A and B are shown apart, each in its own frame.
Chain A
Amino acid sequence: MAASSTSVTSAGPARPAQNFWGRLRGGDEIAYLITFIAAASILLVTTLLVFELYVNSHLSRAKFGWSFLTTSTWDPVADQFGALPFIYGTAVTSFLALLIGIPLGVGAAIFLAELSPPKISDALTFLIELLAAVPSVIYGLLGIFVLVPILRLVEPYLRAVLGWTPLFSGPFYGVSLFSAGVVLSVMIIPFIISISREVILAVPGDQREGALALGATSWETVWDVVVPYAKKGIIGSIFLALARSLGETMAVTMVIGNDPKIKASLFAPGYSIAAVIANEFTEATGKLYTSALIELGLVLFALTIVINGLARLMLVGADKYKA
């Protein structure tokens, strides 16, 4: 099976010196086979992952069908499972994260790529890339013990300004959709910055020179010429950040409040898909409960695949990602 598929794939590219028989001497075909098996096992692992998620969520899919996605009752005691509160929580926190993260991230990327002196830019970029390496549980730790107390201080002012909207009404306990969104925004900013910065740096120099020669200020050059040129890549970086925030588990679990209800207020505690899996998986009693949680995993998987796919489409144009 493996041998036959080897000869098939190796016959594909038009490189006559490297066909299957040519490689037979010198152990070439063994090396080929070993690396081929490794590469194929990546395909196998990924397929198996989808398969396991699909098969093990069978009970829940059979019982609830598509209504799993549209009902909002999550009652393990009565064996009623609806994913809407979690989908809502995931969407709201990710949206909030983007709302805060996009302006800050893109702004910083513009500064680092175009406006700042190279030395400052290098130093800051280094620090920001380190920020991307901080484990999410550390963000959660800081979220609980630092961010939530800070938000408690900020909350009265927010309420004074925006309290008339339903978004900022109701009591604030600290853990909430709002806190989760803020933590997520801090987590995705480094991603937006480092990818957007690279995309902006890849814009050809003559674009800038042309604009500057026409008398544009440096900001006008950046905003009217460079950024539109890099637009697709920047949007791609935002999609990547979105995919990451949708799947982010630990930091969100620690500050979102873990309440499976849909409330209009951002100050209310909520729940996200990843958080409910993290919290309830080990205590899930009964096959249907586990199956429902695995189906949530399937939903999360599908969501991130779609968003990542979109990001890839956007980033294909950017030089760095041209494979």
Chain B
Amino acid sequence: MADLHTLRRKTVNAVMLTVTGFCALFATGTLLFILGYLFAHGASSLSWAFFTKLPTPVGEAGGGMANAIVGSGKLLLLATAVGVPIGFLGGVYLAEFGGTTFSYVIRYVTDLLNGVPSIVIGIFAYTLIVLPQGHFSTLAGGLGLGVMMIPIAVRSSEEFLRAVPNSLREGAMALGASKAKSILTVVIPAAKNGIMTGIMLNLARVAGETAPLLFTSFGNRYWSSGWEQPISALPVMIFTYAISPYQDWHNQAWAAGFVLLTLVLAVNIFARAVLAKKKHVAR
């Protein structure tokens, strides 16, 4: 009788181990599947023209997404200009100067902003720039992406600044440096790698954002000059091409998905490798 009981418990143990193991396998299997499928489909649709040519008119085969690649770059540049200064300096405030009440409010609001769905950020950029100006523009898209970057930039900057040992700050101050000087010449350089990595991860995240761009930068089948015209971006192209009825466009969507995912994953893997190395040194 007692043996039966033990047997049952052992069986449950083994079964649940297997079941949870399968859950983990399923989750990772999904990634491998996504990667495999995209690589197979995307790489075969990829050609040199994809990187060098403009999209062709509907019905005409060939063409590429050169303008969307440049467009994504321009949008990310703008986003960095908006999101990183505010996020980084905000992070410095929280880590080095912050008191209690105001810092609490800022952290709370940052979390709140981080939780805002990307499509709502799109509406925000629309009401702020597109509505008053009366036309879609690169500026509006960049602003939307920039706002999306702020919360993560704040958090990662604060986190890495806090990870700098206090003895470094005390050492600088003991040598007579003012607080500003010690932050600028000792604390920030010590946290530099982490902060840069955080910014890269942040960029990789917004590089794949589509929703905030749909009605801000809108899309463009030609080159976009300056910052006032609509501009196309890779994720928006993937969306429009994927829901179109043309086989040729589907293939291009796969190619664009392949390029986008490769970039995003490469940045993520690189960043994680840098961070992991740093942790080992710290220990």
Residues of B within 8 A of A250 (CB): 210-211, 235, 239
Q: Is the CB of A127 within 8 A of B28?
A: yes
Residues of A within 8 A of B204 (CB): 133
Residues of A within 8 A of B9 (CB): 217, 220
B165 CB, nearest partner CB in chain A, Å: 19
Q: Is the CB of A247 within 8 A of B117?
A: yes
Q: Is the CB of A108 within 8 A of B27?
A: yes
Residues of A within 8 A of B242 (CB): 137, 140-141, 144-145, 254
- CB under 8 Å from chain B, chain A span 121-147: 124, 126-131, 133-138, 140-142, 144-146
Binds A, one of B55-63, B119-127, B189-197, B220-228: B119-127
A140–B34 CA distance with the chains assembled, in angstroms = 11
B77 contacts chain A at the CB level, 8 A cutoff: no
Q: Which among B27, B97, B121 is the interface contact of A32 at CB below 8 angstroms?
A: B97
Q: Is the CB of B31 within 8 A of A27?
A: no
Q: Which among B93, B109, B201 is the interface contact of A46 at CB below 8 angstroms?
A: B109
Given contacts A130-B268, A308-B112, contact A281 B30 (CB under 8 A): no
Residues of B within 8 A of A18 (CB): 179
CB-CB nearest in chain B for A12: B99
Q: Is the CB of B27 within 8 A of A193?
A: yes
Q: Is the CB of B112 within 8 A of A46?
A: yes
Binds B, one of A60-68, A110-118, A204-212, A263-271: A110-118
How many chain A residues have a CB neighbour from B under 8 Å?
92
- CB under 8 Å from chain B, chain A span 37-96: 37-43, 45-46, 48-49, 52-53, 55-56
Q: Is the CB of A274 within 8 A of B211?
A: yes
**0 or 1 for each of B107-119: is its CB under 8 Å from A? (1 = yes):** 1011111011111
A135–B117 CA distance with the chains assembled, in angstroms = 14
Residues of B within 8 A of A28 (CB): 178-180
B81 contacts chain A at the CB level, 8 A cutoff: no
A27–B96 CA distance with the chains assembled, in angstroms = 15
Residues of B within 8 A of A144 (CB): 242-243
Residues of B within 8 A of A115 (CB): 17, 20-21
Q: Is the CB of B250 within 8 A of A145?
A: yes
A217–B88 CA distance with the chains assembled, in angstroms = 48
**0 or 1 for each of A1-14: is its CB under 8 Å from B? (1 = yes):** 00000000110110
Q: Is the CB of A247 within 8 A of B120?
A: yes
B179 CB, nearest partner CB in chain A, Å: 5
Residues of B within 8 A of A246 (CB): 117
**0 or 1 for each of B17-41: is its CB under 8 Å from A? (1 = yes):** 1011111101110111010011000
12 residue pairs from A and B, CB less than 8 Å apart = A30-B180, A32-B180, A39-B106, A53-B127, A56-B123, A110-B20, A130-B31, A131-B31, A133-B201, A137-B257, A278-B214, A282-B218
Interface residues in chain A, defined as those with a beta carbon under 8 Å from any beta carbon in chain B: 9-10, 12-13, 18, 23, 25-28, 30-32, 34-43, 45-46, 48-49, 52-53, 55-56, 103-105, 107-108, 110-112, 115-116, 124, 126-131, 133-138, 140-142, 144-146, 186, 189-190, 193, 217-220, 223, 243, 246-250, 253-254, 274, 277-278, 281-282, 293-294, 297, 300-301, 304-305, 308, 312, 323
Interface residues in chain B, defined as those with a beta carbon under 8 Å from any beta carbon in chain A: 9-10, 12-13, 16-17, 19-24, 26-28, 30-32, 34, 37-38, 85-90, 92-94, 96-103, 105-107, 109-113, 115-124, 126-128, 131, 147, 150-151, 154, 177-181, 183-184, 201, 204-205, 207-211, 214-215, 218, 235, 238-239, 242-243, 250, 253-254, 257, 260-261, 264-265, 268-269, 272
